[in-house]
Amino acid sequence: NENVFVWSNKFRDHYSLTAVNNSFESASGRIYHSVLKKERASDRLVSFSIFQALDLDEGRDNYVYFTELNSGLTYIQKTGEILSKGIYIELNGYGKNVFCDFTRVTDTDGSWKQVAEALGGKGTKDIHREKRKLKLQPSREFLRTLLSGRNMELWLSSVEQKKFPLFIKQIKKDLEQLYSLLMNTGILPQNGGVPAEAFSLECRKLEQLLKKDELMDSYIPEGIAIMPESPYLLLVRLILTPVLEPFFKDEYFPQAVQEFIEDLDLVSILRTVLPIELFLEEAKDEIISLLMVTSVFNPAAPVRKELLEILTASPSVKKYLGINIWEGVTWFKREPFQTFTWWIYLLYRMEDTMLGEHLKTLIKEWILGEEKSGCNLDKLLEF
């Protein structure tokens, strides 16, 4: 196609490839060989392949990934394929592609091959997250099984009876296998603890709070009674707590936790686990959004008056609470806020069952503020 111009550039170890379509018509095809050019040292005409221009290695397990600047998408291709077929591009009329950040990788464990096959030539916003998602596939399927069938029935019964020893005993081996799968991905930070034991400890904390919460009396059990989705959320939270805990030491823990929850594909898992007869699809989405709020909960953060302002500034909390601006006023939705308050209180109490009167005062201020604010967020934050 004489309307398409392609050239490569190199600066030290950095390579780029630019393609421009000088026509109204769209164009597509493979970039393989350059046009003939005269060598400086002689009059001989030579042509270079794209493989040579990018200085690639043919090795059997060698791949290269690169980013297109206009779209921000990253593509991956086996270097041997570039050697034999070149690089495929598509251009709209008068369109252009600028490929850069060519990164060579050797596929020592087959993971880059999986990424390339999964993408099938398509681009992705974050190729490393694509790799993480594939590594989490066995854990994802195991967790889906863990949260269904007899395990879930026994869990619901345990919450109702406020007794967890039988459930802990039944699920112990499955949990150990799940945690082993998660740790073997190499994705999670290591904290040196024993996740299955940490899960048992969390269950015992919940049991203690269900039987007697000296701070807020029956606030926790009443919440469970009126929110049939809460036991499902609690189980997911309890299972994930031991693997999420190391993230809390990270300055960017909300983003890290949220990405992990997304990469584990908890949304689709919960959609299949939550019983259809109890929840409409819209309600399921709200429940899943509430779980995402977990990503902003950091037990290491101090419980102080500014906590609500900090939490409501988070994108995931804003989405769950339906925070919006109308006629210059910032509003929130009442029912999600009530559930959110209960959930945050429970998370803090689970983290520290001895957390004192300050937490009780804070939560009561939130509840009173919600009643008097008229769903005006600014008024709520004044309480």
Cα distances (Å, whole numbers) of residue 337 to 69, 150, 319, 332, 343: 41, 33, 11, 8, 10
Which SS3 state, helix, strand or coil, does residue 332 take?
Answer: coil
Half-sphere exposure of 69 (CA within 13 A, CB side): 11
- pLDDT over 90, % of the chain: 38
Indicate if the pLDDT at residue 184 is higher than 90: no
Find the radius of gyration of the CA atoms of the chain: 27
CA 174, 179, 182, 185 dihedral sign is negative
Compute the average pLDDT of residues 222-235. 84
Tokens of 57: 């290695």
Compute the average pLDDT of residues 194-202. 83
Contact 60, 43 (CB under 8 A): no
Indicate if the pLDDT at residue 272 is higher than 80: no
- For residue 121, name the pLDDT band (cuts at 50, 70, 90): very high
Residues 56-84 pLDDT 10s: 998 889 999 999 999 999 999 999 999 99
Compute the average pLDDT of residues 214-234. 84
> All domains of the chain, ordered by start, with CATH?
4-127 (2.60.40.1180), 137-382 (no CATH)
Q: How far apart, in whole angstroms, are the C-alpha atoms of residue 116 and residue 109?
A: 13
Residue carrying the six token digits 């499955």 = 174
Cα–Cα–Cα angle for 96, 98, 101, rounded to 5 degrees: 165
Residue 28: predicted pLDDT: 92
- For residue 355, name the pLDDT band (cuts at 50, 70, 90): low
- For residue 368, name the pLDDT band (cuts at 50, 70, 90): very high
Residues 14-32 pLDDT 10s: 999 999 999 999 999 999 9
Q: How far apart, in whole angstroms, are the C-alpha atoms of residue 273 and residue 278?
A: 11
Residue 114: predicted pLDDT: 94
Q: Helix H segments across the chain?
A: 50-53, 79-85, 111-119, 127-135, 137-146, 149-161, 165-184, 195-211, 219-226, 230-244, 253-263, 266-273, 281-293, 307-312, 315-321, 334-351, 357-373, 377-382
- For residue 350, name the pLDDT band (cuts at 50, 70, 90): confident
Tokens of 10: 């190199």
Residue 354: predicted pLDDT: 63
Compute the average pLDDT of residues 304-318. 80
* Sequence letter at residue 220: I
Cα distances (Å, whole numbers) of residue 219 to 288, 289, 339, 343, 349: 22, 22, 11, 11, 12
Which SS3 state, helix, strand or coil, does residue 72 take?
Answer: coil
Q: How far apart, in whole angstroms, are the C-alpha atoms of residue 302 and residue 352?
A: 12
Contact 263, 244 (CB under 8 A): no
Pick the range with the lowest mean pLDDT from 15-19, 140-144, 287-291: 287-291
Compute the average pLDDT of residues 327-337. 92
Terminal CA-CA length for the chain: 68
Looking at residue 44, the DSSP 8-state letter turns out to be -
Tokens of 379: 């008024």
Contact 72, 125 (CB under 8 A): yes
Residue 292: predicted pLDDT: 61
- For residue 306, name the pLDDT band (cuts at 50, 70, 90): confident
User: Whose CA is closest to 229, among 263, 199, 273?
Assistant: 273
Q: In sequence order, which residues have a C-beta less than 8 Å from that of residue 278 and are 6 or more positions away? A: 228, 229
Compute the average pLDDT of residues 229-241. 83
User: Whose CA is closest to 260, among 200, 187, 168, 324?
Assistant: 187
Compute the average pLDDT of residues 339-361. 80
Most confident listed range (109-113, 194-198, 315-319):
109-113
